[in-house]
Chain A
Amino acid sequence: MTNSSITLSNDQIDELGRELDAIKLRVINDLGAEDRDYIYKIIKAQRALEVTGRGAFYLGFLPPFWLLGTAALSLSKILDNMEIGHNVMHGQYDWMRDPALNSKRFEWDTACPADQWRHSHNYMHHTFTNIIDKDRDIGYGILRMDETQRWNPYYLGNPVWAFLLMTFFQYGVALHDLETENIISGKRKMSENKELWHGIWRKIGKQTLKDYVLFPALTGPLFLSTLAGNATANLVRNLWAYSIIFCGHFPSGVATFTEEETENESRGQWYIRQMMGSANITGGTLFHILSGNLSHQIEHHLFPDIPARRYPQVAPEVKALCEKYGLPYNTGRFSKQIGSTWAKIFRLALPFSSLNKSDKPPAVTVVPEKVPAAA
């Protein structure tokens, strides 16, 4: 096992932290009209796809038009949720001071209310990334995604639960902040969820009214055809978003951490946890855009608040830093990353340890600074 242990001194870790801070500062100082033009170009494309999709359903009795409408609306929802919504809500465009793209005010075209997402994702997941028992994105409270999660017979259904989560992903995300698993285990009271439920119902109500009542009704006799198109677009978005997101933290080789390991973590250590706890996907420009640039999950977790179009730009430098410090930079084709994620879902359904050695990430050992040898 050549790669099973990395030893870094505190000095090296601090140095790595400073180098990553410098990359971020350089990007922040360079933000300007180009970034604004970019996101508005994406928004324009998304709105054009949406209008095209909604319009095509008026000819939905002709199969090519139904397919066109469904494809355009699927792409619209994917862009809205990934490259626009997820990234805007991270505060990536707050520096523009544009109320339409403000992280606190933005709402996206999915069931999950934006304010709840910001809590469960921006705060909980991005701060406590891959810390077992703290990052609720590990298995989303319903899956066994790490060996350290104690097995019980419920997990025999791991692949089934994962399939259901994928299919109904927007509702899974919407219910995420309710922390149902903590209610079952008694760590959380039902009453704490009252307000959250209210927000979820209101959002789901608006989304349902739009996609499953009003737009179908506006196409008159084509009600059912439009309804089916809208449902398919929501499903396509669910499959896509689930797959991209699962590739971010669950492919083999991605590390998880314990609370003890991450106590009193320095900024450099936080950066290392973000890098080792994330995985990238290789692909072309269009693929990166449709993934919301979450294909650069490593860069996203290092710098969640810089505009995502900057991730491919800084990726070579991040990769070089990983090489310099001997840290893994987990990346691969979509088929490889999603394949190993599903393999993990199946393997962890069973009680006995069945992960390959190569699945296991190296451990980082921190040694205290060495006293310089006397000359």
Chain B
Amino acid sequence: MTVLAPTRRPLAALRRLSPLGLVEALATPHGVDRYLELVNPMLTVRELRAEVTDVWRTTPDTVTLTLRPTRQWRGFQAGQFIQLTVDIDGVRRTRCFSPACSQHRTDGRIELTVKAHPDGLVSQYLYANASPGLVVGLSQADGVFRLPVERPAKVLLISGGSGITPVMSMLRTLCDEGYDGDVTFLHYADTDAHVSYRDELRALAAAHSNVNVVLAYTAADDGDLHGFFGSEHLESAAPWHADAETFLCGPAPLMASVRALYESIGLSDRLHSEEFVLAPAVVDDGEVTGTVSFGDVRADNSGATLLEQAEAAGLSPEHGCRMGICFSCTQVKTSGCTRNIRTGELHTNPDEEIQLCISVPVGDVAINL
């Protein structure tokens, strides 16, 4: 999510004389991409999109997609994530995924491995419906979870389940670079069948003497290790971990136990992690709890509509009808859950637009005012 520097006026005037400026003046007020997308959605002037070129389902619950991005794509660094957007039953849905491919991939394509979570709307949709030719929305890569530009002397990669993707990208990137420091790839899965990239991991280990792949299974005995993460696993997989930088991505219990152990041995500053941000399960029991924040202004949730609460906090957000019909008070809810008092619908997604005058907070809510 890049922030464009504000254009200075003379530059803007110059741009208008350019061929693109002329085309935009002709396309006003809709923008050139709004016309081009009707011919071919991959033909864009400004918007970044991607076309699915390959789909394969490697494990019982994952799907691996190859994406060909439009020319606006600026590449990524191993470990970073992108936001992918699809329309499901008419509604646009956006989720974050970490590319699993090497950042040096020569054809410039992006590989994503998506695990179909039982409650995951987007992941289930992609698992069931993704096919070559599907065009999706794409964001530029973002995130600070990435290999340092100056590669560390030793690297320990720890992952669990679908958290494999950013560290897989790191491993592939290091291999592509001819990195010669020790690398251990410690991955947790239920069983052998649940390991995405299993064959490739074994092949990478065979081809690079400095790469050690350790697969730990929590529900089977045929792995390199058995059970959940602990100091024995760490000692056996990477006895040199104190000299390494560790990169961690996986489900919350794995993250917690790795963090706790690293803290106890004083290595927290060498541990880098990426947390899956899962929307918290919201229980709307009608009780009024939590804090509402409007930018810097915070107040206890009073149970009133967000418009009333903002006004009670001394703010004067733009509004009109106060009955949900005019959409003047629509604002972006950056986090938390709100209930539409007209329809009873719960809005749980971050960065969702809501109407302040007919929305009440359910627990903590942050509004971008």
Interface residues of chain A, those whose CB is within 8 Å of chain B, are 21, 25, 28-29, 31-37, 43-44, 47-48, 51, 90-91, 94-98, 100, 102-104, 107-109, 114, 118-119, 122-124, 126-127, 203, 206-207, 209-210, 214-215, 218, 267, 270, 304-305
Contacts and interface: CB of A to CB of B under 8 A. Distances in A.
Tell me which of B25, B30, B342, B353 has the highest count of chain A C-beta atoms within 10 A of its own C-beta: B30
A91 B329 CA distance: 11
B365 to A, nearest CB: 18
A97 B91 contact: yes
A305 B90 contact: no
Nearest to B322: A127
A342 B352 CA distance: 46
Given A28-B343, A127-B320, A103 B327 contact: yes
B235 interface: no
B119 interface: no
A25 B26 CA distance: 41
Contact of A126 (B30, B38, B326, B343): B326
Contacts of B28: 206-207, 209-210
B99 to A, nearest CB: 24
B25 A206 contact: yes
Contacts of B93: 97
B90 A34 contact: yes
B28 to A, nearest CB: 5
Interface string B348-365: 000011000000000000
Interface of B: 22, 25-26, 28-30, 34-35, 38, 87, 89-93, 320-321, 323-328, 330, 342-343, 345, 352-353
A122 B26 contact: no
A102 B90 contact: no
Contacts of B90: 31-37, 95-96
A109 B89 CA distance: 29
B208 to A, nearest CB: 44
20 contacts: A32-B89, A33-B89, A47-B38, A91-B327, A96-B90, A96-B91, A96-B92, A97-B93, A108-B29, A109-B29, A109-B30, A118-B326, A122-B320, A122-B327, A122-B328, A123-B328, A127-B325, A206-B25, A207-B29, A210-B26
A118 B327 contact: yes
A299 B326 CA distance: 15
Contacts of B35: 47, 51
A119 B326 CA distance: 8
Contacts of B342: 21, 25
A97 B325 contact: no
Nearest to B329: A123
Given A122-B326, A126-B325, 13 more contacts: A28-B343, A33-B90, A34-B90, A47-B38, A91-B327, A91-B330, A97-B353, A103-B327, A109-B29, A127-B320, A210-B26, A215-B26, A270-B323
Contact of B25 (A44, A209, A305): A209
A294 to B, nearest CB: 16
A25 B327 CA distance: 17
A127 B30 CA distance: 28
B323 A127 contact: yes
A99 B262 CA distance: 44
B353 A102 contact: yes
B298 to A, nearest CB: 25
A126 B38 CA distance: 33
Contact of A206 (B29, B320, B325): B29
A108 B38 CA distance: 18
A123 B25 contact: no
Nearest to A209: B25
Contacts of B321: 122-123, 126-127
A51 B90 CA distance: 27
Contact of B330 (A104, A109, A126): A104
Nearest to B349: A97
A210 B320 contact: no
A84 B330 CA distance: 20
Given A98-B92, A214-B22, A25 B343 contact: yes
